[in-house]
Amino acid sequence: MIERPFAVSRRFDIMPPMQSELTEQAKKLSIPDRIMLVEEIWDSIAEENQAFELTDGQKRELDRRLELAKANPRQGRTWDEIKAEFMKSR
């Protein structure tokens, strides 16, 4: 049995035919294309304002990280830098 880093709902144990077909089609894509597909799907979810609500703890953590980034603007890397490095490693 494959261990997954996140709990998966039981409703995904048996996928309807359309979901199974989409999954199989996605598996045929290259890894960079699958990553781009996941990004597009996630962006479409995030665009729906009511898709998820952050907890108060998550909001505090984001605020803490934002303040840290403002205080140390040269520390860390941008998402574009990280993504480019990842894509080169493939």
> CB 36: neighbour CB atoms within 10 A?
13
pLDDT at 44: 87
Query: What local confidence, expressed as pLDDT, does residue 49 receive?
Result: 65
Query: Other CB atoms closer than 10 Å to residue 28's CB: what's the count?
Result: 8
Stretches in the chain below the pLDDT threshold 70: 1-15, 49-51
Element (H, E) at 19: helix 17-27
Question: How deeply is 35 buried, as exposed, middle or buried, from its count of CB atoms within 10 A (0-12, 13-18, 19+)?
Answer: middle
90: tokens are 């493939």
> What was the pLDDT predicted at 7?
47
pLDDT of residue 80: 93
Report yes or no: 34 and 86 within 8 Å, Cβ to Cβ: no
